[in-house]
Structure 1
Amino acid sequence: MLSVLDLFDLEHPEWSFDAMYAKLGYSRSTLYRYLKTLTDAGFLTTFPGRGYTLGPRVIELDYQIVTTDPLIHVARPVMNELVTGYSCISLLCRRYKHKVLCVHQETSTSQFRSTYERGKARPLLQGAASLAILAHFSTYQLTRLYEEQAEEFKEAELGDTLASVRETLKRFRQKGWVQTEGQVTEGVTGIAAPIFDGKNEIIGSLSLTLPEIGMATEKVESVAERVQFCARIISKSLE
């Protein structure tokens, strides 16, 4: 039944019964039963001539997450403080399977706008916010991902072998933060640090995006120190 919900994304926000039937391969009676259950629960809804779309229960749950999620709750005041003194955007991102999702954003600038608003997935192999998370994947997780996306790792200049990728990510871990320029948004610099849960497992990252490139080393290190400090506060609060 959950695989029905997985069909819906930005590229495919609406599905007809016949399209879902062809895609999923369930029997018609099984798919009818799943759709009725999901519709009755509010996870799906229908419009005449438009097929099925995500329903109001999803919106209700999203509001509940914004209001009660422990990560957002502890990170919001820290992020408000972090953007003070810079013309920047701060993103709180969370690892989700082989995706990195923005779950909260704070801004202190009108010079540019982040295209990665709450709920939008970021590329896993590009951008400081993602690489700060990727650097802490387990050996098993990284190996599986590399086997699936070896060419993408090479294109992202992370390494053309698994060994070279591991060495690149090791340098990120040792430094404690990641800096990138223009990888996701042209003309900006991203600086990010990892966030861990109470079991010291990587769950997300905290980042600042500044509307400039070619920043002086001293400024980059100063910003990175502050980002890393704030990420540690958030991690400590989750213990």
Structure 2
Amino acid sequence: MTDKSESSLARMLSVLDLFSDHQLSWTAEAITEALQMSLPTGYRYVKMLTDAGLLQRAADAHYTLGPRIIVLDHYIRMGDPVLQHGVSLMQELVEQTGLDCVISCLYGQQVLDTHREFGTAKATLSYGRGRPRPLFFGAAPKAILSCFASAQLHRVFDEHQDEIAQAGLPTDWSEFRKYYGAIRKAGHYFSNGELEPNLAALAVPLLKADDTLLGAISLVSTVSRMAVIDLPKLTQLLTRTAQEITTRIP
């Protein structure tokens, strides 16, 4: 594939990046304007993506994401080694605790929940599978970031200064590194009303023996329910489950 065709493919796929919680449908004209491309090119990209099932025609000449993405999501679930080896252990954890159990993974610099097992009292989460979570709020993202190598964490620090300040985290690199270093040393992070006021979560990183970071596993419940739970005992239980998942993955 030539550089020109690679560039063209990347621009076509960037159409999919336009879709968000804030804008779920686009016209072809709006797509071309947003991506600053010619109208014929925009129409061609939209047609190709529609033919591939990645977009579909909706009302009023708008386009939404297409059914092919649902099919691909099914294959992602089936092929995810963390889910292949972890779902049964998550179910055991839910049976033992009655709490919701969530797996979260890192894609680039986005933290996404990939699977959730519901406990006896379902916690209402604003974030679910596929919806990017804030990088600096909540138990799972902090457990994941705590396992970054120094250079990788420094890139995150450099690229997200405003978000770090808004989250009330240290804006000095040395203090920022120490903050996540403390979480790494503890081996877990407890969030109490941090991301959503009524929810608390305990997260442990999914870290293999060779320091390969696979994501995080969390137990989630309401703040009031979590307040009467033996947190050290829960941490031990969650840590053992995380270790069992990572040792099962080749």
Verify same fold: TM over 0.5. Answer: yes
Shift of residue 78, structure 1, vs aligned partner: 0.7
- Name the counterpart of 1:201: 212
Cα contact 2:56–2:65 (8 A) shared by 1? yes
Counterpart-to-counterpart distance in 2, 1:188 and 1:35: 41
Cα contact 1:187–1:211 (8 A) shared by 2? yes
1:137–1:50: structure 2 CA closer, same or farther, 3 Å change rule? Answer: farther
- Name the counterpart of 1:167: 178
User: What are the superposed Cα offsets for residues 87-110 of structure 1, whole Å, 9 maximum, x if unpaired?
Assistant: 311110011122110110011122
- Name the counterpart of 1:112: 123
Match of 1:102 among 99, 113, 116: 113
SS in 2 for 1:12: coil
Shift of residue 151, structure 1, vs aligned partner: 3.6
Shift of residue 160, structure 1, vs aligned partner: 2.8
Match of 1:121 among 132, 137, 142: 132
User: What are the superposed Cα offsets for residues 2-35 of structure 1, whole Å, 9 maximum, x if unpaired?
Assistant: 1011111121110111111111012222222222
Pair 1:72 & 2:83 matched:
yes
Pair 1:32 & 2:17 matched:
no
Match of 1:18 among 29, 33, 36: 29
Identical amino acids, percent of aligned pairs: 32
Larger deviation, residues 110-119 vs 165-174:
110-119
Q: What is the aligned length?
A: 238
Cα contact 2:94–2:117 (8 A) shared by 1? yes
SS in 2 for 1:6: helix
Task: Using structure 2 for the length normalisation, give the TM-score.
Answer: 0.88
Pair 1:189 & 2:200 matched:
yes
Tell me how large the CA RMSD over aligned residues is: 2.0
User: What are the superposed Cα offsets for residues 87-141 of structure 1, whole Å, 9 maximum, x if unpaired?
Assistant: 3111100111221101100111225322222212211101111100011122222
Shift of residue 50, structure 1, vs aligned partner: 4.0
The amino acid that maps onto 1:57 is R
Cα contact 2:29–2:39 (8 A) shared by 1? no
SS in 2 for 1:122: coil
Structure 1 unmatched ranges of 5 or more: none
Shift of residue 38, structure 1, vs aligned partner: 0.9
Shift of residue 199, structure 1, vs aligned partner: 5.4
The amino acid that maps onto 1:54 is L
- Name the counterpart of 1:178: 189
The amino acid that maps onto 1:209 is V
Pair 1:140 & 2:151 matched:
yes
1:165–1:29: structure 2 CA closer, same or farther, 3 Å change rule? Answer: same
Counterpart-to-counterpart distance in 2, 1:9 and 1:127: 21
The amino acid that maps onto 1:6 is D
Counterpart-to-counterpart distance in 1, 2:141 and 2:120: 22
Cα contact 2:123–2:221 (8 A) shared by 1? no
Counterpart-to-counterpart distance in 2, 1:42 and 1:48: 17
Counterpart-to-counterpart distance in 1, 2:41 and 2:166: 42
Match of 2:63 among 22, 35, 52: 52
Shift of residue 215, structure 1, vs aligned partner: 3.5
The amino acid that maps onto 1:225 is Q
Counterpart-to-counterpart distance in 2, 1:47 and 1:112: 33
Task: Using structure 1 for the length normalisation, give the TM-score.
Answer: 0.91
Counterpart-to-counterpart distance in 2, 1:26 and 1:111: 46
